[in-house]
């Protein structure tokens, strides 16, 4: 099945005057906002621009292959390949990129990044970044369920300040929270700016509480909003949502369908599911969450979510990857901090973390057992050397990440046993490796059936 990287192979060298800007181009530029362009793209306070080709080159200089390939987070690692792919063809290589604004503020619980892409057809795409891997960003997402958040207000200010001098047409878009920010900012920005907006692209962004964005404000732009969601959609169904323009087929499973990198492409369009309905499993999850939200007023949501994220911060958890890693030290720290939390919230979170820890360690032991004949050093060996002169590639990235994943899992297994990595290496060397690994794999397998 084909995705947006395949699309760029097909149409990356086709100018916009031959094949006009479309829904897939939109998702590519929305996904591009997740790339670490800080220090690459000129800031909003500067009156300078760089071409996409220049941005791609500077991105490679600033971030080595190991950093790009090894990026750990909730966003598909393939996202980091987009600058190079965009720079390779006439469709986007000459596009001008600039007016970057990026701010992560723990005290304000704000995570916001946005920049602009001026295209060869005369249009400008304003791309808002969705939630990144930071706990700050995820805290802000949950705060959206009970009020207006700082990034929404700042998104409006950004459009008013940076788009006043930009000619029409302006497109505003984003993925996940970025889609929410695009809709919110377009609805509430100055009318002079709003009148220049031709399309608002909302790629699986959550909806709005009526108290945050009234229907009367949303009606100003409703007919210009294009909303795309996957068949297993949870994020895009939160709160009051817009009717989707298309429900998209994804190569991913479950909640991972939220990642637009897995959305399937045919020609210049996303492949829609048939019939155009969410999967029953997604509807079940959404109904349960809607029921909980309906039973908790805004003050109760504020109290529970605030307590939860305060505990994470006190436990030293800084990223969602840390929380979901299943690392025993992280689980222990969070459980300790939540000892006095709301009982329902505490039991739910502790159960989730224990399940994640069990899954992670089962995977670690199973992977080790599958390759028990290999030398112990293979599990802790560094990733193969990367040639800085060759282009980025999905294949090289996959090989690098497989090696790094094995090292992380070996380390998690060592911590579970109260050993250092070197200590576990020594034990396995004495035990002959395979026997001990097999016992551990069997133990985890038995636990998974309890």
The verdict on 224 and 340 lying in the same domain is no
Output the pLDDT for position 373. 47
| Boundaries of domain holding 274 | 4-279
Structure-block tokens of residue 324: 């979901």
Residue 265 in any domain: the answer is: yes
Per-residue pLDDT tens, the chain, 450 aa: give them.
899 999 999 999 999 999 999 999 999 999 999 999 999 999 999 989 999 999 999 999 999 899 999 875 668 899 999 999 999 999 999 999 999 999 988 888 889 999 999 999 999 999 999 987 778 877 887 788 788 999 999 999 999 999 999 999 999 999 999 999 999 999 999 999 999 999 999 999 988 888 889 999 999 999 999 999 999 887 777 777 778 899 999 998 887 888 999 999 999 999 999 999 999 988 887 787 777 677 778 888 788 788 888 888 888 888 877 776 666 777 788 888 888 877 766 776 676 666 555 655 565 555 555 554 454 555 556 667 899 889 999 999 998 888 887 777 677 667 666 777 777 667 666 655 544 455 454 444 444 444
| Residues 6+ positions from 335 with CB-CB distance below 8 Å | 350, 353
256's tokens: 């991972």
Q: Does 132 map to a domain?
A: yes
| 255 lies in the same domain as 336 | no
Distance CA 38, CA 381 (A): 32
* Within a domain: 241: yes
Q: Look-up: residue for tokens 């920049």?
A: 115
DSSP 93: T
Count Cβ atoms within 10 A of the Cβ of residue 241 and give its class: 0-12 exposed, 13-18 middle, 19 or more buried: middle
Does 312 map to a domain? no
Q: In what order do the strands lie in the sheet with 197-203?
A: 49-51, 96-105, 110-118, 124-128, 170-175, 197-203, 225-230, 246-248
Cα gap 442→25, rounded to integer Å: 48
Domain with residue 165: its CATH number is 3.40.50
Total structural domains within the chain: 2
- Domain end: 279, 309, 334, which one? 279
Cα torsion angle, 313, 316, 322, 323, sign:
negative
Whether 421 and 273 map to the same domain: the answer is: no
CB-based contact 215:183 (threshold 8 Å): no
Structure token digits, residue 39:
């220090």
**Residue 122 pLDDT:** 98
Does 184 reside within a domain?
yes
Nearest CA to 323 among 105, 67, 138? 138
Q: Examine the domain organization and report whether 158 and 90 are in the same domain.
A: yes
Are 247 and 347 within one domain?
Answer: no
- The pLDDT of residue 379 is 56
Residue 9 DSSP code = H
Distance from C-alpha of 335 to C-alpha of 19, rounded to nearest angstrom: 54
Instruction: Say if 55 falls within a structural domain.
Output: yes
Residues 258, 378 within the same domain = no
Q: Residue 320: its pLDDT value, please?
A: 72
Domain final residue, candidates 279, 307, 337: 279
Please state, in angstroms and rounded to a whole number, the distance separating the CA atoms of residues 299 and 225: 31
Assess if residue 388 is contained within a domain: yes
End position of a domain, from candidates 279, 314, 336: 279
At residue 211, the pLDDT reads: 84
Dihedral of the alpha carbons of 60, 63, 68, 73, in degrees to the nearest 10: -140
pLDDT value at position 447? 43
Full-model pTM: 0.84
Please tell me whether residues 199 and 332 are part of one structural domain: no
Task: Extract the runs of DSSP E, i.e. beta strands, from 36-138.
Answer: 49-51, 96-105, 110-118, 124-128
Nearest to 329 by CA among 401, 407, 403, 417: 417
């Amino acid at each position: 099945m084909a995705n947006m990287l395949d699309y760029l192979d097909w149409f990356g060298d086709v100018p916009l005057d031959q094949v006009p800007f479309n829904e897939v181009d939109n998702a590519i530029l929305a996904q591009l906002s997740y790339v670490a362009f800080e220090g690459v793209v000129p800031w909003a306070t500067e009156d300078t621009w760089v071409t996409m080709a220049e941005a791609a080159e500077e991105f490679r200089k600033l971030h080595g292959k190991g950093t790009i390939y090894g990026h750990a987070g909730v966003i598909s690692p393939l996202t980091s390949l987009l600058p190079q792919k965009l720079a390779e063809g006439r469709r986007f290589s000459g596009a001008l990129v600039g007016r970057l604004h990026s701010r992560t503020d723990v005290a304000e619980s704000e995570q916001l990044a946005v920049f602009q892409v001026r295209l060869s057809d005369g249009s400008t795409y304003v791309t808002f970044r969705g939630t990144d891997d930071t706990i700050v960003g995820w805290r802000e997402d949950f705060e959206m369920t009970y009020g207006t958040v700082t990034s929404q207000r700042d998104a409006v200010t950004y459009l008013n300040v940076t788009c006043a001098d930009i000619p029409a047409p302006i497109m505003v878009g984003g993925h996940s929270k970025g889609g929410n920010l695009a809709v919110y900012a377009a609805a509430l920005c100055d009318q002079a700016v709003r009148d220049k907006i031709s399309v608002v692209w909302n790629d699986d962004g959550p909806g709005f509480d009526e108290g945050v964005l009234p229907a009367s404000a949303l009606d100003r732009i409703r007919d210009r909003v294009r909303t795309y969601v996957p068949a297993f959609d949870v994020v895009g169904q939160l709160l009051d949502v817009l009717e989707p323009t298309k429900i998209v087929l994804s190569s991913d499973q479950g909640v991972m369908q939220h990642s637009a990198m897995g959305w399937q492409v045919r020609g210049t369009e996303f492949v829609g599911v048939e019939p155009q309905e969410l999967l029953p499993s997604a509807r079940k999850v959404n109904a349960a969450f809607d029921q909980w939200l309906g039973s908790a007023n805004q003050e109760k949501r504020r109290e529970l979510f605030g307590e939860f994220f305060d505990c994470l911060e006190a436990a030293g958890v800084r990223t969602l990857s840390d929380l979901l890693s299943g690392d025993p030290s992280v689980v222990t720290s969070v459980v300790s901090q939540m000892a006095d939390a709301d009982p329902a919230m505490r039991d739910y979170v502790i159960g989730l973390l224990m399940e994640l820890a069990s899954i992670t360690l089962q995977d670690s032991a199973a992977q080790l057992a599958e390759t028990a004949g290999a030398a112990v050093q293979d599990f802790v060996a560094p990733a193969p050397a990367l040639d800085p002169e060759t282009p980025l590639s999905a294949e090289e990235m996959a090989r690098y990440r497989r090696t790094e994943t094995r090292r992380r899992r070996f380390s998690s297994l060592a911590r579970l046993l109260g050993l250092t990595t070197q200590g576990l290496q020594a034990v396995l060397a004495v035990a002959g490796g395979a026997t001990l690994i097999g016992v551990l794999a069997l133990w985890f397998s038995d636990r998974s059936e309890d």
